[in-house]
Amino acid sequence: MDASQIELRVGCDIPVGDLIGLYDSVGWKAYTVSERRPDLPRALRNSTYVVTAWYEDRLVGLARALSDDVSVFYLQDLLVLPGYQGQGIGTQLMRHCLERYEHVRLHILLTEDDERVRRFYESFGFRNINDLSESPLSAFVRVHGVELS
Ligand SMILES: CC(C)(COP(=O)(O)OP(=O)(O)OC[C@H]1O[C@@H](n2cnc3c(N)ncnc32)[C@H](O)[C@@H]1OP(=O)(O)O)[C@@H](O)C(=O)NCCC(=O)NCCS
């Protein structure tokens, strides 16, 4: 696959089966278990910005964000179909979102603590809050139905 053959599309007009397949492929069951399936198209519809990556009309990646277009851009999901990972698609999606929201002051995301994922986000200038010493910040999170420890 040649990265130049990837087409990026803005908007959430995506067949539900393709969406479920993509989220399922990276193991994000919280979105794809049968009782939650109707929530996924709703979550996309209510996102501020959705951009998808297509290879020969196959959905191979997606990024979606919430933003007020002034002070905060929150990246909620970024995912690439496993067979297409490591070929620059995540980078294309990320660059596209960051260019669109370049003017916004805070860029925030929450993700699993995985070395490769960390390196990926650091390459775009994101810093893990735990690594900050000269400009310390705190981040707080609640997860519905989960007792965090
Ligand atoms: C993280 C993710 C979006 C990166 O997309 P991608 O298209 O594979 O990334 P790119 O090819 O543009 O860039 C590759 C870089 O991404 C990072 N990366 C993280 N996970 C990776 C994976 N499973 N495969 C390949 N690269 C990965 C690495 O830093 C890699 O750089 P390296 O080759 O120097 O190690 C993608 O791997 C993915 O969907 N993972 C599963 C879902 C996830 O964890 N999403 C992030 C949390 S929101």
Q: Confirm or reject CATH 3.20.20.210 for domain 3-131, answering yes or no.
A: no
**pLDDT, tens digit, 9 for 90 and up, residues 40-80:** 999 999 999 999 999 999 999 999 999 999 999 999 999 99
Nearest CA to 97 out of 61, 131, 130 is that of 61
Residues 75-125 pLDDT 10s: 999 999 999 999 999 999 999 999 999 999 999 999 999 999 999 999 999
pLDDT band at residue 149 using 50, 70 and 90 as cut-offs: very high
The pLDDT assigned to 3 comes to 80
Neighbour order of strands in the sheet with 6-10? 6-10, 49-55, 58-67, 72-80, 106-109
Residue 135 has pLDDT above 90, yes or no: no
What's the gap in Å between 121 CA and the centre of ligand 1? 9
What pLDDT does 4 receive? 85
Question: Whose CA is closest to 53, among 107, 95, 9, 94?
Answer: 9
Find the residues whose C-beta lies inside 6 A of ligand 1: 26, 77-80, 85-91, 111, 116-117, 119-120
- The residues spanned by each domain of the chain are 3-131
Burial of residue 120, with CB atoms counted within 10 A of its CB: 0-12 exposed, 13-18 middle, 19 or more buried: middle
User: Quick one: pLDDT at residue 148?
Assistant: 94
- Percent of the chain predicted with pLDDT > 90: 87
31 vs 50, more confident: 50
